Structure 1
Amino acid sequence: MANKNNLGGTTQKQQTLGAAFELEGKGLHTGLDIKVRFNPANEGHGIKICRVDLPERPTIPALAEFVTKTERGTVLANKSLQVSTVEHAMSALYAMGVDNCLIEVNAPEMPIFDGSAVEYVQQIKKVGVVEQAAVREIYVVKRKIEVQSENGTSKLTLLPDSSFGMHVLISFNSKVLSNQFACLEDLSTYPEEIAPARTFVFVREIETLLDNDLIKGGDLDNAIVIYDQEIPQEKMDKLAHTVGTVSKPAHELGYINNKPLKYPNEPARHKLLDLIGDLALIGRRIQGRVIATCPGHSINTTLAKKIRKDIRINQTQAPTYDPNEAPLLNIQEIKGLLPHRYPMLLVDKIIEIGPEHIVGVKCVTHNEPYFIGHFPEEAVMPGVLQVESMAQIGGILILNQMEHPEEYSTYFLTIDHAKFRQKVVPGDTMVVKVGLVGPVRRGIANMRGMIFIGEQLACEAEFMAQIVRNTETKEK
């Protein structure tokens, strides 16, 4: 039976690091010498950061709702800890396909290294990534999502697409750095094309940053410094001394670097790197295209928070249903797997099936026999029949994997945590997703089902079923 998924056409599994690795570097804002360790983590763990220098080693999930500051970097914080400049590490983990990882750091920020994500990428390449058993949750963009800054300068647009991609445009009122563009069509190009791009700062910003007790560890080895507005030579000499470099003639505008630019559009590429890291804070892979005009940590995390809110409210997304696509199993094939017949066959077609999940469709019409009495003046599909529909589709998932499915049936043992969030009425199309909670053991399957009407979750339940060989088959 063919497998389908929302990204790339195949079922994707979660991944973690092949082994732990450690790095040491300087903190951009604190100037501290920092040690950080990246550890493999179990399925469903996500990315979490542990402050090993604090009592009881508190941990924070790397999720957008914990973002508290976005000045010159993304800061995560809760009552027990704070960690800043997380975007480069998050960008590298996302691009390299790591879903589950525990990051241990001994300071209130991540090390800056050379201002890029290349150190993280190189180490992830060395230890490798390993596939885990659990299926990835994909955030599928199904409609246009847009956020814009109050002054209208910055805008992020998220559009539906069959894969993940980014287009970034930056614009500054600068004689040295004006307009630049960068794009990413395939994450496989990230290590060479995006990861090495360094952060940048304007000379005119440095004094303000220093006054705000920031960039204590900043120097020409961990940032591109852009000198685009002439200042007095005395001021230039003072700033050069502050960042530990040789002063230059104040009338010469341009880039002030120990190393040349790696790409003509390196600043735009770094903005793309940051955007990936900030959007990784939704905690899921994204299937969609991001169009970014003048992105920055503030607007990036605003979009990430908006997506996180949608995820928390709806728990999971409705499966993608295209009525024009041919089903994987039509009604005749379903009847070959299930013993149910009118009026109790409550699934019309199967549109997606994998090793651990299945998606079916039930079209509800006013001709359903139970509407005669439930209710004569206001037709509502009984909740028990909604659960029955989930169970039948779950039964197809199990029976479809058996060599002789016609010889077996599935029966309810328990139903738990059933919730009915909205009415199901004539005219509704139920898109039903059922997944295994764990492996099938000794003929017992634990499953969780969800019914969606459009994008809204209408019903959910957990249930246990027993796989039983039919009596007629036994007698034969």
Structure 2
Amino acid sequence: MLRKQQTIKKEFSYTGTGLHTGEDVTIACKPLPVDQGIKFKRVDLPEQPELVATVENVHSTTRCTTLGTDKWQINTVEHFLAALNALQIDNLLIEIDANEPPITDGSAKVFCQLLQEVGIEEQEQEVTIYQFDQPLYVRKGEQYLTILPSDQFKISYTFVSNYQGLGDQFAEFIISEEVFNEEVSSARTFGFAHEVEKLQEAGLALGGSLDNAILIAEDGPINQLRFNDEIARHKILDIVGDMKLVPEFRGHIIAIRSGHELNFELAKRIKGVITKEELSC
């Protein structure tokens, strides 16, 4: 299966708050020619290093997906990558003046809007969309993640709650630009009240607030949910973002309790199968 590569029609910039630093962060997004991929560039550092957003460049999956090296990193890239994946943007330079993109409202909605406002441009070169002949499966403890053969990009997520006032959640969507925009992109990230103090003592989540995250206490969410299953929807958003780190594919991902660490393990499996076995396309 093939489609034309895409980039944006013109550059744009956006300034917002970093989730962990609590400081202003500016990103500048610029079109790139074909076959360049999604590149992040740290313009605040002396050498202005850059890298391509691929699974090989994942540095950490603790609480978010972090790209980088031992010398420099870019944290919490998954929300922006989710927007790029849903909109099928293949070539883009993201210049950033801090170690994380703006958190916006904790979802991917703002990024989708910004990209759609400047317009998406089809390019001459084609990109291959892979399909799976057999299932792939990863597991860690009670976390499960599998991908089944399908001619659609579909994600099913089961969130299992350990909190009174917050029940288990299930969400399932066939991911397209329209479905992502309407059903997934506005689902916000979330955190647990008992962890906030420890995180801030460690210099993390300094920009977190009820304006950009769902805060969950023992008796349930403190702020109003946008959807009854918003947490499961945000987990789907994260998967869409993390899967941007591998070549584009079609398949049905089924996830139970999984997070960025297991997403990364599945992404490595997917990349290995595609590059070594050349799946049907």
Q: Under a length normalisation based on structure 2, what TM-score does the superposition of the two structures give?
A: 0.95
Corresponding residue of 2:184: 194
One-letter amino acid matched to 1:123? L
What amino acid does structure 2 have at the position aligned with 1:198?
R
Name the amino acid aligned to 1:256: I
User: Which amino acid is 2:147 matched to?
Assistant: L
Query: 1:219, CA displacement in angstroms?
Result: 1.0
SS in structure 1 opposite 2:216? strand
* 1:277 and 2:266 correspond: no
Alpha-carbon distance between aligned partners in 2 of 1:52 and 1:186, rounded to the nearest angstrom: 33
- C-alpha distance in structure 2 between counterparts of 1:90 and 1:54, whole Å: 22
> Alpha carbons of 1:134 and 1:37: their partners in 2 closer, same or farther (altered >3 Å)?
same
Whole-Å separation in 2 of the counterparts to 1:171 and 1:254: 13
Q: CA deviation at 1:80?
A: 4.7
- What is the one-letter code of the residue matched to 1:175? Q
1:218 is paired with a residue of what secondary structure? coil
Aligned residue identity for 1:216: L
- Larger C-alpha radius of gyration, 1 or 2? 1
Contact 2:106–2:213, Cα closer than 8 Å, also in 1:
yes
Q: Which residue of 2 aligns with 1:169?
A: 158
Q: CA deviation at 1:208?
A: 2.7
Distance 1:186 1:87 in 2: 16
Which residue of structure 2 lines up, in the alignment, with residue 308 of structure 1?
271
* Aligned residue in 1 for 2:146: 157
1:1-40 matches, within 5 Å, as: 6=1, 11-40=2-31
Structure-1 residue corresponding to 2:212: 222
- TM-superposition CA deviations, 1:187-206 (whole Å, max 9, x none): 12111111011011111221
Alpha-carbon deviations, 1:149-170, whole Å to 9, x = none? 1x2x111110111111111111
Tell me which residue corresponds to 2:202: 212
1:255 aligns with 2:255: no
Which residue of structure 1 lines up, in the alignment, with residue 230 of structure 2? 266
Match of 2:59 in 1: 68
SS in 2 for 1:119: helix
Corresponding residue of 1:102: 93
| Pairwise CA distance, 1:136 | 0.7
Q: Secondary structure of the residue that 2:215 maps to in structure 1?
A: strand
Contact preservation (8 Å) 2:192, 2:215: yes
The structural deviation recorded for 1:226 is 0.9
Q: Is the 8 A contact 1:164 1:289 kept in 2?
A: yes
Counterpart-to-counterpart distance in 1, 2:279 and 2:238: 29
SS of residue in 1 equivalent to 2:122:
strand
Q: Is this contact kept in 1: 2:132–2:280, CA < 8 A?
A: no
Cα distance in structure 2, aligned partners of 1:72 and 1:186: 24
- Please give the alpha-carbon distance, in whole angstroms, between the structure 2 residues aligned to 1:42 and 1:142: 32
* AA of the residue aligned to 1:133: E
Q: What is the letter of the counterpart of residue 307 of structure 1?
A: I
Provide structure 1 residue ranges, at least 5 long, that are not aligned to the other structure. 1-5, 229-252, 321-476
SS, match of residue 210 in structure 2? coil
> Do the aligned partners of 1:60 and 1:78 also contact (CA within 8 Å) in 2?
no
Contact 1:138 1:286 in 2 (8 A): yes
Cα distance, 1:175–1:79 mapped onto 2, change above 3 Å: closer
Q: CA shift at 1:77, angstroms?
A: 1.1
CA distance in 2, matches of 1:85, 1:63: 14
TM alignment of 1:326-341, pairs within 5 A: none
1:249-398 mapped onto 2 (5 Å cutoff): 253-257=219-223, 260-282=224-246, 284-314=247-277, 317-319=278-280
In the TM superposition, what is the alpha-carbon distance from 1:312 to its structure 2 partner? 4.1
Give the stretch that moved more between structures: 174-183 or 219-228.
174-183
For 2:235 and 2:25, how far apart are their aligned partners in 1? 24
> Counterparts of 2:11 and 2:132 in 1: how far apart (Å)?
33
Q: How far did 1:57 drift?
A: 1.3
* Partner SS for 2:101: coil
Q: For residue 318 of structure 1, report the CA deviation from its aligned partner.
A: 4.5
**TM-score normalised according to structure 1 size:** 0.57
1-structure distance, mates of 2:105, 2:175: 24
Q: CA deviation at 1:143?
A: 0.8
Confirm or deny: 8 A CA contact 2:27 2:95 kept in the other structure: yes
**Mapped pair 1:44 → 2:35:** yes
Alpha-carbon deviations, 1:367-393, whole Å to 9, x = none?
A: xxxxxxxxxxxxxxxxxxxxxxxxxxx
Answer yes or no: is 1:116 the counterpart of 2:107.
yes
Deviation string 1:271-312 (CA, Å, 9 cap, x unpaired) is 100111011111x22111111111201101111122223344
